[in-house]
Amino acid sequence: MRMMRFKSTDGFRLGVVVGDALADLSAIQPNAPRDLTGLLQRGPTILEDIAGQIRRATSAQMIAVSNAKPALPIERPEKFICLGLNYADHVNESAYSTQPYPTLFMRAPTSLVAHEEAIERPLASAQLDYEAELAVIIGQTMRHVTADQAIAGVAGYACFNDGSVRDYQRHTVQWTMGKNFDRTGGFGPLFVTADELPRGASGLRISSRVNGEVRQSDNTANMIFKVGETLSYISQGMTLQPGDVVAMGTPSGVAHAHKPPKWLLHGDVVEVEIEGIGILRNQVANEQTQSPVLAVA
């Protein structure tokens, strides 16, 4: 199943792609969850239940995909964990070496932006970069799981752009600052259930384009740490829960590796494409102001 969360007149809704249309879950069932996390919290059989409901959907419960404004698949993931240095060619183009354990950091919800919304190029830096990544959406609670058990608990996959502000990333040995500028991480639009893809989403072409020019092109089979072993490793210390997200690292070809670097500029269009999942597209727009904000609520 291929699902999209979208903006409606009464807030957000979830839809299932049926040809050129979306079957609107809230139209089919008024109390349907409006966020992927809420949906997945209903348990592993919920996706099958929905597939059954979709088969009975009427045309009045469908809207054209082209009329649906995409939203983040998950508005506020409780955990959004990212891997760095997970493709050998990307490690080689960076200042780092291959690591014996997954290099993990986290992103905050304020750094995420939906498909077709603007990625914000900060006034504080000229070094905005793109990173095409496979995002894993957790479907079941996991702690102390094996790689095989972890794969069974994956709900599905999405496209992610781990937008990075390189100078801030390198101010210290911790990457958090450069990986969390507001509205730099494109996410979505589609959530594709795990049963539609190869085991662990391995063997899929992954690429990025800027203004149509291919910048990254690789295959998810080349990930150093695979999906199952990565989730197993994380679960040694953290409970993974439905709606948590793990982004699996980026291939070579990022802006900073080009000579001279090909930093993102105002007006650039960045696309991340993963075979079998889809295309995530965002235009880059300069931050409008650095005026101080200090407000209640």
Applying CB under 5 A, the residues found at the interface with Mg ion are 131, 162, 250
- Collapsing DSSP to helix, strand or coil, 134 comes out as strand
Q: Which is nearer to Mg ion, 106 or 152 (CB)?
A: 106
Say if CB 104 and CB 232 are below 8 A apart.
no
Residue 278 backbone zone (phi > 0: left; psi -120 to 50: alpha; other: beta): left
According to DSSP, residue 256 is labeled: G
Minimum CB distance to Mg ion smaller for 131 or for 271: 131
Q: Which amino acid is at 162?
A: D
- Provide the minimum distance between the beta carbon of 160 and Mg ion in the complex, in angstroms, as a whole number: 8
Report the first-to-last Cα separation within the chain, whole angstroms. Answer: 38
Closest CA to 235 of 41, 79, 16: 79
In the complex, minimum distance from the CB of residue 92 to Mg ion, in angstroms, rounded to a whole number: 15
Smallest distance, Mg ion to C-beta of residue 249, A: 5
CB of 164 to Mg ion, least distance (A): 7
Closer to Mg ion at the Cβ: 131 or 268?
Answer: 131
Q: Which is nearer to Mg ion, 62 or 132 (CB)?
A: 132
> Cα(194)–Cα(201) distance, rounded to whole angstroms?
8
Cβ neighbors of 244 (< 8 A, separation 6 or more) are: 77, 78, 79, 80, 81, 137, 138
Q: Give 162 or 273: the residue with its C-beta nearer to Mg ion.
A: 162
Spatial CA neighbour of 136 closest among 92, 66, 79, 177: 79
Shorter beta-carbon distance to Mg ion: residue 14 or 272: 272
CA distance 4 to 144: 31
**Minimum distance of Mg ion from residue 31's CB (angstroms):** 37
Q: What is the DSSP letter of 88?
A: H
Minimum CB distance to Mg ion, residue 131 (Å): 4
Tell me the residue nearest to Mg ion as measured from the CB.
Answer: 162
Contacts of 85 (CB under 8 A, 6+ apart): 91, 94, 96, 98, 99, 103, 224, 249
* Distance of closest approach, residue 212 Cβ to Mg ion, in angstroms: 22
Tokens of 116: 């077709």
Nearer CB in complex with Mg ion: 162/271: 162
